Structure 1
């Protein structure tokens, strides 16, 4: 199937999830993330969920990092819809967050962090395939962002759904995941993941 067909199918599937399913599956995703060995002082880019789209609740993971890895540096993004780019800011106490037109909660301002500083990136998506290729919302924000990260930056997708067999229309700009975390399990697509 192509991305457009997959996108529509999985947006409907995710929208149909009950509040009980969402809570249970978010708990399961967090438990899998807790089993990984996060660096004590690395830079971890975390997306904030679009609640009206039923995206996975990454706030739970942020709270876990703050409690268990207090020296880890959590990084959040702000989107620029005019050129489909992203700016990245260190999450600090007192940081001001504001919802944008798409329902994404973003930092208003703060200490800028370069893409080259990031060690790990948690990536929102609808579903991935068996090779780690992603289907998101189709705007290309994350492909542009990930292309600027270091080659050793670990790309971790978060999805409620296990991988499908194949996405047919992958192109040269698509950057695959190293790992996918779902409620059922962790999938590894790269043998060089340090976690």
Structure 2
């Protein structure tokens, strides 16, 4: 299937999940994420979920990782719709967050963090394939962002769904994942 076909199918599939399924899936993802050793991670970028789109809830992960790894720095982004870019800020207690036009909570401003400082990026997606290619919402924000990260920065996709066999129309601008975390498993592509 193409990215467009998969985007339609998995947006619908995710929107039809019952609240109990979403809660169970979020618990599974949290459990999988805590199988990782975060000791050597200085800066971890995470997305903040668009709850109206049934995205995985990263707030529990943020809360728990701060308790278990207090020296780790959490970074979040603000999207720039004019040029499909993203700015990244340290997620601090006093940071002001607002909901953007897409229903994503993001910072107004804060302490800026360069892409090259990031050790790990948790990547939102609708579905991935067995080669680590991902389908997002189709604007290319994350592909532009990930292309600016260091080569050793781990790109970890977060999905409620197991990967499909193949995305038919992957192109040279698509940045593949290193790892995919689902509620049931962690799949490594590297």
Q: Give the TM-score normalised by structure 2.
A: 0.99
User: Matched residues in 1 for 2:24 and 2:41: separation?
Assistant: 30
Give 1:184 shift.
1.0
Give 1:41 shift.
5.2
* Partner in structure 2 of residue 161 of structure 1: 161
User: Matched residues in 2 for 1:90 and 1:40: separation?
Assistant: 18
* Partner in structure 1 of residue 88 of structure 2: 88
Q: Give the TM-score normalised by structure 1.
A: 0.96
User: Matched residues in 2 for 1:152 and 1:144: separation?
Assistant: 16
Q: Secondary structure at the match of 1:66?
A: helix
- Which structure 2 segments of 5+ residues have no match? none
User: Matched residues in 2 for 1:58 and 1:72: separation?
Assistant: 16
User: Matched residues in 2 for 1:8 and 1:18: separation?
Assistant: 18
- Which structure 1 segments of 5+ residues have no match? 191-195
Count of aligned positions = 190
RMSD of aligned alpha carbons: 0.7
* Partner in structure 1 of residue 102 of structure 2: 102
* Partner in structure 2 of residue 140 of structure 1: 140
User: Is the CA contact (8 Å cut-off) linking 1:10 and 1:127 kept in structure 2?
Assistant: yes
Q: Secondary structure at the match of 1:109?
A: coil
* Partner in structure 2 of residue 178 of structure 1: 178
Q: Could you give the per-residue CA deviations for residues 15-45 of structure 1, whole angstroms, max 9, x where no partner exists?
A: 0000000000100000000110013551000
User: Matched residues in 2 for 1:114 and 1:39: separation?
Assistant: 21
